[in-house]
């Protein structure tokens, strides 16, 4: 530090060369405040040493020390852990947890979990808080909705990071009104078994009581379809009148994605499921 034109100034230098002369103020009698523009520092890896010499001694302040807010020039890190897709992978209700971890040496001043319906523009904050570490907020979805999620986190120095996007679909329940005309033949309604919204539609093969095998027929819009079911028998699945594929649900647990077809041309499609053996316990459907 030195006096220049009647003002206290500080010389900013690397080990080998002078960089700039910077302003010094005196907030109080015990403190000098040296103001350095961020542009003069290397945000990824600067180191500095403030050296003070005075009659009878000397002092040093060595940086970086990113836990000190003043030295923190880097945005928080965000690790996205659990974004269950479909939501029924983690929950039997419309509430489901998402999981992520936040880290920053200076601390997290605020974070927001944001969501928007896929394809829309505006984000809505659905959970928020402060502090580093693991976060598992519960969110509530609507049947049949597909959401995009992201996280924004700001550290105590004001650096903000926005995470990438994760997609979560909430299935339509098998008992949703959109399927009012979908079930024909030998079909009964069940519940329990840790099923989504405590409802199952059971497709049964033809028997003496009903000469038509249990059948699910539904037209949907989109490019993909997934079937959620629990443990049971076998059925055939056909998309748009194509060759029926065998659907074996014997190894399924509760709320298991037992069938998925992606890459369909955008537009209307038809899925037909016909019981073959045992009881096929349909729990929900994802269209997107
Ligand atoms: Ca930081
Ligand atoms: Ca269900």
Q: What structural domains and CATH numbers belong to the chain? A: 2-64 (no CATH), 77-169 (2.60.40.10), 172-287 (2.60.120.260)
Q: Which residue is listed with tokens 């220049």?
A: 4
Is the model's pLDDT at 98 over the cut of 70? yes
Query: Which is nearest to 281 in space by CA: 235, 243, 225?
Result: 235
Distance set, CA 179 to CA 65, 183, 191, 196, 264 (Å): 60, 7, 17, 15, 21
Q: Using DSSP, state whether 171 is helix, strand or coil.
A: coil
Q: Give the Cα separation of 175 and 283 in Å (integer).
A: 8
**CA atoms within 13 A of residue 100's CA, in its CB half-sphere:** 29
Torsion of CA 233, 243, 264, 203, to 10 degrees: -30
Instruction: Check if the beta carbon of residue 132 is closer than 8 Å to that of residue 102.
Output: yes
| Residues 218-246, mean pLDDT to the nearest whole number | 97
Centre of ligand 2 from the C-alpha of residue 197, in Å: 5
Q: How many Å apart are CA 59 and CA 29, to the nearest integer?
A: 17
105 CA distance to ligand 1 centroid (A)?
6
Long-range contacts of 28-37 (CB under 8 A, 24+ apart): 32/1, 32/8, 34/1, 34/10, 36/12
Q: Is the pLDDT of residue 272 over 60?
A: yes
Provide the pLDDT confidence category of residue 25 given band limits of 50, 70 and 90: confident
Distance CA 206, CA 28 (A): 90
CB 270 within 8 A of CB 217: yes
Closest CA to 281 of 256, 263, 244, 245: 256
Q: 31 falls in which pLDDT band (50, 70, 90)?
A: confident
pTM of the model: 0.80
pLDDT number for residue 45: 56
Query: In percent, how much of the chain has pLDDT > 70?
Result: 92
Kindly indicate the confidence band of residue 65, based on its pLDDT and cuts at 50, 70 and 90.
low
Nearest ligand, measured from the Cα of 92:
2
Do residues 164 and 100 make contact, with C-beta atoms less than 8 angstroms apart? no
Compute, in angstroms, the gap from residue 103 CA to the centroid of ligand 1: 8
Query: Separation of 116 CA from ligand 2 center, angstroms?
Result: 24
What is the pLDDT, as a whole number, of residue 67?
A: 67
How far is the centre of ligand 1, averaged over its atoms, from the C-alpha of 91 (Å)? 34
């Amino acid at each position: 530090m030195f006096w220049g034109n009647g003002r206290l100034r500080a010389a900013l230098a690397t080990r080998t060369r002078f960089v700039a002369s910077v302003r010094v103020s005196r907030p109080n009698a015990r403190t000098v405040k040296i103001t350095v523009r961020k542009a003069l520092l290397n945000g990824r890896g600067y180191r500095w040493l403030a050296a003070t010499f005075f009659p009878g001694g000397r002092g040093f302040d060595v940086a970086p020390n990113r836990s000190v807010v003043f030295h923190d020039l880097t945005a928080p890190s965000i690790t996205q852990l659990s974004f269950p897709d479909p939501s029924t992978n983690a929950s039997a209700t419309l509430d489901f947890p998402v999981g992520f971890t936040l880290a920053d040496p200076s601390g997290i001043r605020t974070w927001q979990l944001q969501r928007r319906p896929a394809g829309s523009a505006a984000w809505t904050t659905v959970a928020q808080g402060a502090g580093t570490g693991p976060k598992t907020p519960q969110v509530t979805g609507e049947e049949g909705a597909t959401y995009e999620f992201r996280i924004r986190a700001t550290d105590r120095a004001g650096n903000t990071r926005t995470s990438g996007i994760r997609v979560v679909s909430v299935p339509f329940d098998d008992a949703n009104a959109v399927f009012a005309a979908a079930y024909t033949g030998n079909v009964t309604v069940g519940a329990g078994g840790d099923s989504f919204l405590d409802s199952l539609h059971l497709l049964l093969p033809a028997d003496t009581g009903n000469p038509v095998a249990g059948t699910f027929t539904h037209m949907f819009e989109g490019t993909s379809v997934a079937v959620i079911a629990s443990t049971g028998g076998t059925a055939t699945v056909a998309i748009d009148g194509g060759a029926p594929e065998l659907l074996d649900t014997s190894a399924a647990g509760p709320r298991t994605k037992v069938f998925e077809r992606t890459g369909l041309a955008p537009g209307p499609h038809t899925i037909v499921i016909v019981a073959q053996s045992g009881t096929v316990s349909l729990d929900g459907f994802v269209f997107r």
